[in-house]
Structure 1
Amino acid sequence: MSVRPLSAELAEKARVELNEDPKRLTEDLQHIKNWLAKQPHIRARTDDQWLTVFLRGCKFSLERVKEKLDLYYTIHTAAPELFRVKHTDPLFEEIFNLKLLIVLPKLPAPDSPLISIFRPGMYDPQKYNITDIMSVTNTMQKIMLVDNDNASVAGFRFIMDLEGASMAHFLQMSPTLMKKGAVYSQDASPVRMKGFHYLNTPPGFETFFNFIKGLLNEKNRSRLYVHNKNYEELYKYIPKDILPIEYGGTGGTIDEIMDSWRRKIQEYNSWLEEDRKYGVDESKRPGKPKTAEDLFGVEGSFRQLEFD
């Protein structure tokens, strides 16, 4: 998969914010491929578009790309429960049909972050496990990163709609699982988080919210917004014309958006199938193998990975 040319607006954002230089891109990609070829423990996807996502996620710091790639594939092996539901499993289709994650097709501006709505209250916590939900959303996020240049250049903005979320939902999020999710999304994924907007927050949310804040770095903590039921406040950040009709917008219905995404998952079927073979073999890692405790140590802050 070769690298798609960026629109003029995104190319300028990538230049200014991410240090992207199209003249240097081929050389940078080759450098990363050469490095990966010398890592006996990493099995990684090496197509140009995918590696460019990591270059952008690390603002073209080659050393950070190496660290992030190692951590990304290490977590796929160390925390397989975050990725266990295959896109071809009946359970994937079942969870997808709950319409928990809605990726908005329209953007406020050509260089805007990609915007999604996550609705955990749509699943029954007696029937589904949060790790299976995360498997499905992680698969969709991989597609967003490789398929949408706004995601890789401008980042992601999430609306967290907690309508219908109960204490049973929150109790599924153990401290260890939240740490795994935070390490994966904040440290391992080539994702630029540009804000979380919380709607319809239930009683007991404050405790959960404070725990989440404690897992995030200062930059990401400053991008948390709690609107509760104040939709007018939300519209100041995310205009109505891109939101679904169900959220007071004019950006199509949730069903229409999900039908489009079902087709996209089918389009990426072979790409996702291939993606499952990547990870790490700790027995081949130079130096000491990494364990889940090294990565997510339950006590204290996360331990840093050591990289050669």
Structure 2
Amino acid sequence: MVKYKNHYEAIPVLKHWLKTQPHLPIIEDSPLRSFIVFCDGDVEEAKILIDKHYTFRTNNPQIFGNRDVNSKAFEKLNEILDLILLPDLTPDNHLVTIFRIRSPDVTYYNYTEQVRFIIAVLDAHLRVFPMDKTPDGVYLILDLKEFTLQHLTRVDFSAARVLTKYMEDVISIKIPRSNIINCPTFISRIVTMARTFITEKTYKKFVIHETNNDELFDYIPRDILPIEINGTKGSIDDIKRENLKVFKENADYIFNSKYWFVDESKRPANSRKSQFENMQGNFRSLSVD
């Protein structure tokens, strides 16, 4: 087993391998680095993860397909949700992503569209990072101040299951921690109940802050956080405006299936489709931290 301490040296190796895998989509250098970082420099593990990742996307088009950045559905989501990626990385080279619902009104809330939107935004931003600044992972901050029981009743649990399996088994970037702030009591109970259907490793990644949001600063520096959560680095609206430019500029990349879906008719004989059966979520997780 060969591990590359210098992750950049592994990228040409993966690109050479991709030439022998005609069924896989076009994969640019930034996503390739994310795969190799996730696998701690292990190229063979990265190859397995790449195939599983894109096969999973292909088999779940309800989440990963039809990602028109300029659609009315995405525009409406951008109005009722805040999903921002902070401009500064943490001292340990992690990207910080903040998600919050702007209003308790559930009139236009659509969970499946929300999941599709979130992944599309992350895909766009991970593409544009300079290679020497590609993050080693993502810290999530979930602000649930406006999240209500009515929102919960609109959760599509089929889509939630796909998202859970994506994050547990085939995601290409590490998410070592999710901080939940302004957390309602009913969400705390749900997270506890979720231990029955998520892995213990995933469960331990959640840090809940029910009342004292300043505890967040024990995990993420105040000087890179926006003022809405008692940080000092600008406002969410200003950061979101810059994020939206990146999203729009990468509209074709997000929408075009040549970057995201496999073509099973081109899969080589030595890459058996059988090893990727049940890619809706029943395959075994990689043993990668």
What percentage of residue pairs aligned between the two structures are identical? 27
2:24 corresponds to = 43
Q: Are 2:246 and 1:264 equivalent residues in the alignment?
A: yes
Structure 2 counterparts to residues 106-185 of structure 1, below 5 A:
106-109=88-91, 111-120=92-101, 122=103, 124-148=105-129, 152-185=134-167
Q: Are 2:43 and 1:58 equivalent residues in the alignment?
A: no
Gap change, CA 1:283 and 1:108, over 3 Å in 2: closer
2:49 corresponds to = 68
Gap change, CA 1:85 and 1:153, over 3 Å in 2: closer
Moved more, 243-252 or 261-270: 261-270
Contact 1:243–1:249 (8 Å) recurs in 2: yes
SS at match of 1:44: coil
Contact 1:43–1:279 (8 Å) recurs in 2: yes
Structure 2 unaligned residues grouped into runs of 5+:
none
Kindly provide the CA deviation profile for residues 271-303 of structure 1, in whole angstroms up to 9, marking residues without a partner as x: 334455531234554445588x81345xxxx33
Gap change, CA 1:206 and 1:151, over 3 Å in 2: farther
TM norm structure 1: 0.78
Structure 2 counterparts to residues 267-278 of structure 1, below 5 A:
267-274=249-256, 278=260
Gap change, CA 1:21 and 1:290, over 3 Å in 2: closer
SS at match of 1:295: coil
Structure 2 CA distance for aligned equivalents of residues 118 and 144 of structure 1: 15
CA RMSD of aligned residues (A): 2.9
Structure 2 CA distance for aligned equivalents of residues 193 and 294 of structure 1: 24
1:151 to partner: Cα distance: 8.0
Structure 2 counterparts to residues 186-197 of structure 1, below 5 A:
186-197=168-179
1:132 to partner: Cα distance: 0.5
Look up the equivalent residue of 2:279 and give its one-letter code. Answer: L
1:305 to partner: Cα distance: 8.4
Kindly provide the CA deviation profile for residues 196-231 of structure 1, in whole angstroms up to 9, marking residues without a partner as x: 111122242134213444454444332211111211
Contact 2:182–2:213 (8 Å) recurs in 1: no
1:88 to partner: Cα distance: 2.2
Query: How many residues are aligned here?
Result: 279
Contact 2:34–2:136 (8 Å) recurs in 1: no
Look up the equivalent residue of 2:88 and give its one-letter code. Answer: K
Gap change, CA 1:114 and 1:257, over 3 Å in 2: same
Q: Higher relative contact order at CA 8 Å, sep ≥6: structure 1 or structure 2?
A: 2
1:239 corresponds to = 221
Structure 1 CA distance for aligned equivalents of residues 63 and 49 of structure 2: 17
Contact 1:45–1:275 (8 Å) recurs in 2: no
1:116 to partner: Cα distance: 1.4
Gap change, CA 1:214 and 1:71, over 3 Å in 2: farther
1:21 corresponds to = 6
Kindly provide the CA deviation profile for residues 117-140 of structure 1, in whole angstroms up to 9, marking residues without a partner as x: 111464744423211111111111
Contact 1:145–1:151 (8 Å) recurs in 2: no
SS at match of 1:163: coil
Contact 1:101–1:117 (8 Å) recurs in 2: yes
Look up the equivalent residue of 1:20 and give its one-letter code. Answer: K
Kindly provide the CA deviation profile for residues 174-216 of structure 1, in whole angstroms up to 9, marking residues without a partner as x: 4432221022123212111121111122242134213444454
TM norm structure 2: 0.83
1:12 corresponds to = none
